Amino acid sequence: MRKCFVPQPQNVRKITGSFGWIDHRLLRDGYLPQMTHQDLALYLFLVLAADRQGVSFYRKEKICDTLGLDFRQFEIARDRLLNLALVAFEGYTVLSPNGYYQVLPFPPKAPNHAKEPVQNLVRQLTDTWNMTNTDSCSGTQRPSFSLRL
C-alpha cells in the first residue's frame, strides 16, 4: 500500500455533524467532461442540500440566487442532469417550477451524448437536402443525399 504525505497533518478534515458527499465516479466514469460549469454548480448545490435519501426542495429562485444563474441557465443545467440520470425532479404540481430534487445513485457508465448534436445536425441537413431536392419546374426528383457517421 502506498503511503501518502499529508502537507498539514494538524488540519486533517473530520466529519462532524451532517455532511454531503460526492461519488468519485463523477470523475472516474466520464461525467465531468460532459458537464458544463452550470451543471457542476447545480449538482454540487443539490448534493450539499440533500438529506440522507438525496432529496432537497429548494426553490428555483433561491438556487439561482445562490449560484448566480439566470432561470434559463438553471433549466438547461437541470435538464442536462436529468438526461445524465444524476438527479430526478418531481414538481409540486404539474405547472410548478418548484418541487423535489433527488440526487440519484450513479448509473454504471456515463451516457455518451457527445455524438448526438452532430447526428441530429446530419439528420436535419439530410432531410433538408432531400426536401429541397425537387426541381420546381418539372417536378422531377433529383438523386437523394445520404450521409452516415
Q: For 63-99, what is each residue's pLDDT tens digit?
A: 999 999 999 999 999 999 999 999 999 998 888 888 9
Check residues 36 and 128 and name the one with the higher pLDDT: 36
- Of all residues in the chain, the percent with pLDDT exceeding 70 is 72
Average pLDDT, integer, range 46-63: 94
Question: Within 13 A of 70's CA, how many CA atoms are on the CB side?
Answer: 1
Distance from C-alpha of 19 to C-alpha of 43, rounded to nearest angstrom: 15
Residue 136's pLDDT is what?
52
Cα–Cα distances (Å) from 58 to 35, 69, 88, 89, in that order, read 22, 14, 14, 12
Residue 14's pLDDT is what?
83
User: All 3 cell numbers of residue 115?
Assistant: 455524438
Residue 123's pLDDT is what?
67
User: All 3 cell numbers of residue 144?
Assistant: 437523394
* Degrees, nearest 5: CA angle 42-48-51: 120
Average pLDDT, integer, range 99-111: 84
Residue 19's pLDDT is what?
79
User: All 3 cell numbers of residue 91?
Assistant: 414538481
Other C-beta atoms closer than 10 Å to the C-beta of 8 total: 6
Q: Are 86 and 106 in contact (CB under 8 A)?
A: yes
Q: Are 133 and 126 in contact (CB under 8 A)?
A: no
Strand partners, 89: 101
